[in-house]
Structure 1
Amino acid sequence: MANARGVQLCLGCVCAAALAIAPAPASAQNGAPADGEWPTYGGDLGNTKYSPLDQIDRDNFADLEVAWRWRSADGFLSKSDAAGGELWTDSRVVFAELDREDPNLWRDREPPYLANFKATPLMVGGRLYMNMPTSVGAAVDARTGETIWVYNPKTYEAGTTTMTARWNQRGVAYWTDGNEERILWGTSNGYLVAVDAATGRPAVDFGDGGRVDLMEGLPQAERGSRDWLNALTYSVQSPPIVAGDTVVTPASISSYNINREQIPGWTRGWDVRTGQRKWTFETVPQADSYGNDTWEGDSWRYTGKISGWSIFSADEELGYLYIPLNTAAPDYWGGHRLGDNLYAETLLCLDMETGERVWHFQVVHHGLWDYDLPAAPNLLDIVVDGRPIKAVAQITKQGFVFAFDRVTGEPIWPIEERPVPPSTIPGERASETQPFPTRPAPVEYQGVTVDDLVDFTPEIREMALEVIEPFTIGPLYT
């Protein structure tokens, strides 16, 4: 039963032979280190996901064999008991006991989905570091597949994760000052944890015994609160990013809200050694802040989300952080938040040390389509018309690629504000224009017309027309 037992991780023997031992720092856009390490989610802080290794190629790929198998660390879990101790047993037993004690603990009484493994393991110093759907962290010997340590924050005892991040964990972050090494990750119930990379023991001088409460200090955030689906309202599903001595945390906030009020997804930087908050950037601009005038009335007071839930990028040489932000709440209705709604659906560049805004570009004004920025900005060094440019490229759900000078925020190629269809819904007021990059060309088909409907047979065509009849279709941003 996959849900109870979790997943298995396999590694080819040729890969295993190539793994390195000594840790190396990540650079911004040069790819992963040449020694085979993978110290960040995207290989480097620029998320190029490029590895220079050439040991495996088309000639020997067919010769790969399984070197080892590893069963995920959340197949065997613990539960707190009344005496303050821990009961360690099969995860099915733990979940059954928790459900018996509180039938309303999880949405629809569905226990954590353990087969939902999505993490990208890091590889540093011969160890693989990753986290499980239940926010359990683990270190594995990269050569043998033996478990080195497991750290269990027991987030499943708090309830079902935010529905937009339902039992999703995409990875961890690694930090070292040359002597001390730490692994950090966010949990499904809204904590940032830090453990010793060698032992998995909590870094006791970090926050409160090795963790920081990420909900503390956020307007409308209340620990333990549930939404109308009986799920938690604040989670973390993507790895934090570490540059220098600053760790910055993403956030996943429920997209299934039915009220206009929601937790704002402010971005915050923390001291990687102490867990002390260094800065906060209010992604919903508060009174007298830049961008507050893009929120009509008092909508900035209650509107939430606009968080960076995905992967962040950084250029340590510049000291800049690049954050892909999502839409404002609620996703598909903006009648309670008229205006362009800065910084929703924005590529945001901040000073990594201070959290101050360097530049930004909003790719969707007054979002109504859930067109949040879903992927990491790619930091690339390119040459255009003979001119070298430190660039950042942001892919979007619409199939656009927005390219900027990552130092200044100036578009590399012109971006045009083009007219788009108005909203036909009473009380709604869509933006009259939206940004369209002139280059590169879209990588996705955009918009839909009746001519795009399936027409395998006349009967199927007629069925398709009946299905689409209640809907308004048209070009992008209809």
Structure 2
Amino acid sequence: MAITFILFLVIGLALGFGGGWLISLGGSWYYLLAGIAFLATSLLVLRRSPAARLLYALLIAGTLGWALSEVGLDWWQLGTRGGLVVLLGLWLLTPWATGRTPGWWIGRAALWIAVIAALAVAGASMLRDPHDLEGRLTAGAVTPDADTGGVPAGEWHDYGRSPYGQRYSPLAQITPQTVGKLQVAWTYRTGDMKRPEDVSETTYQVTPLKVGDLLYLCTPHHIAIALDAATGQERWRFDPKIPLDDNRQHQTCRGVSYHADPARSGQSCAARIFLPTADARLIALDALTGTPCPGFGREGTVDLWANMPNRKSGFYYSTSPPVVARGLVVIGGSVNDNYAMQEPSGVIRAYDAGSGALVWNWDSGNPDRTTPLGPDETYTANSPNSWSVMSADETLGLVYVPLGNRTPDQLGMGRSPEVERFSSSIVALDLATGQLRWVRQTVHHDLWDMDVPAQPVLLDLDTPGGRVPALVGPTKQGDIYVLDRRTGEPIFPIREVPAPGGTIPEDFSSPTQPVSGLTFMPEPLKESNMWGVTLFDQLACRIRFHSLRYEGRYTPPSLQGTLVYPGNFGVFNWGSVAVDPVRQVMFGMPTYLAFTSQLIPGDQVGPGQKVNTGEAGLNMNVGGPYAVRMQPFTSPLGLPCQAPPWGYVAGVDLRTGQIAWKHRNGTVQDAGPVPLPPIRLGVPGIGGPMITAGGVAFLGASIDNYLRAYDLTTGRQLWEHRLPAGGQATPMSYMADGRQFVVHVAGGHGSIGTTPGDHVIAYALPKQ
């Protein structure tokens, strides 16, 4: 009985204090009332009063009614609201909890009724998932002559298989009926693991290429490797000897690029692999031997620091493969977000694939001049950059560039008209000259790090007005822009909606923001969306929710601290989406995580504070009036404050723009410091999907270590394989020795904490 008294007293005091604090912020009264009920129950237990169980039965009933009114029959939200309360009710039903007292059976009966009612509601909630969308992507009128980018069916020549970026394999050996028989065909270890001295954002995100009988890939430290596609045996390796640099924000390589010149057939370097590096080089390698091509640049290397302002080691580099089209290698670069007010340029450059000579440059800070600069000239400092993957249409003669924001992301003062025009947009450039053909902005005056992060996907789309060459552009904020890729005009309507105001005095915000007719934009968060595994961390999240500034999507950064939802992790990120151009459908992995953003006056960042640790944490913005602290919006236990699901797989009919199905994706098995049960909460992920003509989609990416296969028609999971490390890469597929292979890289992701590794794993059906 003494234990019961102390336990209920402590819980009552905690809930009462926290509940009063929450009420003072305008939040729910439940926690204060529950705290009072716990305190009263503890006193009744101390007095051996039969009313203790009766009062607690009323608390369970009230908690049940409150929880149902907030979230309905959503098990993962009901369970965390009522789980502790019901468990303590079961404890009170034991004879040693309160002891026998006259009339004890009345309270006991009432408590049994309350507990059974709560368990019945919990059971009913387990039978349904209010977040699941059932449906089918019907075949409709297929397009058997669909343009897949001119790559042979059994090969994979570009990051997204072709310059169209579709991530679609025309191979159909693997089907929903056969995928369950997939086996590991071979495994290759690169030997390039994350090192103790590496920056935290060291990741392995590569998608290999397959040309002829070879696979081509790179490692986080930019070692280029060729493997035998059928056996996984190493054919050659090239190490560019990248020096470590703790100024570098990212250490990754998403892929290499391939180019074959028929005019050089039979000569060395007739086929080339282009390797971008973390120390700002572009290297051309002989695809057969891995040796540098001496006729390209200076001994096989082009220096990407050329004409670059604000040269500082580690502040500019390439993490994504260039796009190769019409004999040009078109490349952008990544700059360190929020480290300083003055950064290198975000210029896009096109080099001759044979000689490495600069053909044109497009600088969003000086967009009208595309002819190469003189040796003493520099590009515009700090102009919006393209760190992700581009696409190209050689027939139209256009390259499609996803642009980021000018850094610092959260400080918009002093931006030029060109920056305001091109930040966070998709631009189409003329392949021959680099001249701008069109621009489509997805965020006005971006203050939230809402870069366009994903490779635009190209396909020919059937519309009521006929077949249109289309572009599908996923964004961090969840909008998917479907545009006529000739003009940038929308195929699905785009509307401007009011956006919150109220920035810091030095800045301003756009009064409206665009929303696409096809969107995975989440509903605005409410207090009732706050979550925790217990009442206590849920209460802490509610207090924090009301302590932050939040008026919906695009609430400006603030000194108070702003809730940013969707967060800068993105609904979609560099993994983009996969598109089946035959069925004209899309497979994606929308992710939902809120972040916080707080501006801190520069003079308040004292010595000894840990700064510039990556995109999350305190970043200095050297030279600016404010630093910024960005963090995931998490509870004291480190779990997301908003309720699950946090990650889905989803299917879209691109002819109609309708989301056909959406299901929770991934488990919490690898989400904690110790292994957890594989509970399918729907977890975040970063990486990309791949579709095959057999009607199967493949996706790793989630924070549990699995590669999974899904039925493209329904989205239901068909198969999974446990990975030895995090699978934050995009799979690919090819044909070798008469078998269709699926290859996925498992190497982990530094910022989300998945298991590091160096594994390249190939799967295939059993040999017949």
TM over 0.5: yes
Question: How far apart, in 1, do the equivalents of 2:326 and 2:395 lie?
Answer: 10
1:402 to 1:265, Cα distance in 2 relative to 1, 3 A: same
Q: Which residue of 2 aligns with 1:74?
A: 192
CA shift at 1:457, angstroms?
A: 6.1
Structure 1 CA distance, aligned partners of 2:538 and 2:271?
61
In structure 1, the partner of 2:245 is: 159
1:429 maps to what in 2? 508
Q: Is the aligned partner of 1:196 residue 2:282?
A: no
Asked if the contact 1:360/1:409 (under 8 Å) is kept, the reply is: yes
Residue 115 (structure 1) shift? 8.0
Alignment of 1:414-425 (within 5 A): 414-425=493-504
Is 65-74 or 454-463 further displaced after alignment? 454-463
User: Given that residues 503 and 509 in structure 2 are in contact (C-alpha distance below 8 angstroms), is that contact kept between their aligned partners in structure 1?
Assistant: no
Aligned with 1:241 (options 287, 298, 323): 323
Structure 2 counterparts to residues 166-245 of structure 1, below 5 A: 166-178=250-262, 179=265, 180-220=270-310, 222=311, 225-226=312-313, 232-245=314-327
Task: Output one character per residue of 1:375-403: Cα deviation in whole Å (capped at 9) or x when no partner.
Answer: 11011211211421111111111100112
SS at 1:468's partner residue?
helix
1:337 to 411, 415, 419: 415
Tell me the distance in 2 between the aligned counterparts of 1:205 and 1:39: 23
- Distance (whole Å) between structure 2 residues aligned to residue 114 and residue 470 of structure 1: 30
Distance in 1 (CA, whole Å) between partners of 2:354 and 2:428 is 24
Specify the code of the residue in structure 2 equivalent to 1:263: P
* Partners of 1:396 and 1:114 in 2: CA distance: 21
- What secondary structure is seen at the aligned counterpart in 1 of 2:210? strand
CA-CA distance at 1:328 after TM superposition:
0.7
**Which residue number in structure 1 is paired with residue 543 of structure 2?**
466
Residue in 2 aligned with 1:53? 171
d(CA) in 1 for partners of 2:159, 2:501:
40
2:363 and 2:379 in contact (8 A); partners too: no
Question: What's the counterpart of residue 402 of structure 2?
Answer: 324
Does the 8 A contact of 2:309 with 2:381 survive in 1? Answer: no
Q: Which residue of 1 aligns with 2:357?
A: 276
Question: 8 Å contact 2:281–2:303 — kept in the other structure?
Answer: yes
Matched, 1:63 2:145: no
Deviations 1:218-248 (CA, angstroms, capped at 9, x unpaired):
222x2xx24xxxxx10111000110021001
Change (3 A) 1:404 1:269: same
One-letter amino acid of the structure 1 residue matched with residue 549 of structure 2:
T
Cα distance in 1, alignment partners of residues 379 and 390 from structure 2: 26
Amino acid at match of 2:387: W
Higher relative contact order (CA 8 A, sep 6+): 2
Question: For the Cα contact (< 8 Å) 2:199–2:248, is it kept in 1?
Answer: no
Deviation at 1:476, TM superposition (A): 1.2
Distance in 2 (CA, whole Å) between partners of 1:159 and 1:250 is 20
The separation in 1 between residues aligned to 2:389 and 2:512, in whole angstroms, is 28
Corresponding residue for 2:529?
452
- Offset of residue 32 of structure 1: 7.3
Compute the displacement of 1:326 (Å): 0.4
Paired with 2:380 and 2:301, the residues of 1 have a C-alpha distance of 28
Q: What's the CA shift for 1:444?
A: 3.4
How do residues 16-35 of structure 1 correspond to structure 2 at under 5 angstroms?
29-30=147-148, 33-35=151-153
Q: 1:35 to 1:409 in 2, by over 3 A?
A: closer
Please name the residue that 2:220 is paired with: 133
The counterpart of 1:145, out of the listed 232, 242, 250, is 232
CA distance in structure 2 between the partners assigned to 1:415 and 1:444 by the alignment:
13
Q: 1:197 to 1:117 in 2, by over 3 A?
A: same
CA contact (8 A) 1:46 1:379 kept: yes
Superposition deviation, residue 417 in structure 1: 2.3
Q: Tell me, in whole angstroms, the C-alpha distance in 2 between the residues paired with 1:289 and 1:417.
A: 31
The superposition leaves residues 189-242 of structure 1 with CA deviations (integer Å, 9 ceiling, x where unpaired) of 10000000000010000001001001111222x2xx24xxxxx10111000110
User: TM-score, normalising length from structure 1?
Assistant: 0.77
Instruction: Check the 8 A contact 2:365/2:380 in 1, yes or no.
Output: no
Tell me the equivalent position of 2:430.
351
What's the CA shift for 1:34? 4.9
Shift of the 113–132 alpha-carbon distance from structure 1 to 2, 3 Å rule, reads: farther
Aligned positions, number:
397
Counting only pairs closer than 5 Å after superposition, residues 109-120 of structure 1 correspond to structure 2 as 110-111=197-198, 116-120=203-207
Report if the CA contact (8 A) 1:173-1:239 is conserved: yes
Q: Does 1:443 align with 2:555?
A: no
Counterparts of 1:334 and 1:353, CA distance in 2: 33
Q: 1:176 to 1:289 in 2, by over 3 A?
A: closer
Tell me, yes or no, if the aligned pair for 1:32 and 1:38 is still in contact at 8 Å: no
SS of the equivalent of 2:547 reads: coil
1:446 CA displacement: 4.5
AA aligned opposite 1:448: L
Partner of 1:391: 470
Deviations 1:129-169 (A, max 9, x none): 000100110101111211111111101x2524731xx2210
CA distance in 2, matches of 1:414, 1:472: 31
State the distance in 1 between where 2:271 and 2:474 align.
33
Residue 56 and residue 159 in structure 1: after superposition, are their counterparts in 2 closer, same or farther (change >3 A)?
same
Name the CA shift for 1:302/1:115 in 2 (closer, same or farther; >3 Å): closer
Task: Using the TM superposition, give the Cα deviation of residue 460 of structure 1 relative to its aligned residue in structure 2, in angstroms.
Answer: 4.2
What SS class does the counterpart of residue 462 from structure 2 fall into? strand
| Alpha-carbon distance change, 447 to 268 in structure 1, aligned in 2, over 3 angstroms | farther
158 and 276 in structure 1: CA distance in 2 versus 1, 3 angstrom threshold: farther
Deviation at 1:62, TM superposition (A): 3.3
Kindly report the root-mean-square deviation, in angstroms, between the aligned alpha carbons of the 2 structures: 2.6
Specify whether residues 207 and 289 from structure 1 end up closer, same or farther in structure 2 by C-alpha distance, changes over 3 A only.
closer
CA distance in 1, matches of 2:178, 2:408: 51
Equivalents in 2 of 1:289, 1:32: separation in Å? 32
Unpaired runs of 5+ in structure 2?
1-144, 371-377, 556-768
**Secondary structure at 1:279's aligned position in 2?**
strand
The structure-2 alpha-carbon separation of the partners of 1:63 and 1:414, relative to structure 1 and needing over 3 Å to count, comes to closer
Q: Match for 1:189: what amino acid? A: D
Q: Give the aligned residue type for 1:361.
A: R
1:3-53, CA deviations, whole angstroms, 9 ceiling, x for partnerless residues?
Answer: xxxxxxxxxxxxxxxxxxxxxxxx995167454100111011111111111
Comparing both structures, which one devotes a greater share of its residues to helix? 2
Report sequence identity in percent.
34
Q: State the distance in 2 between where 1:456 and 1:112 align.
A: 32
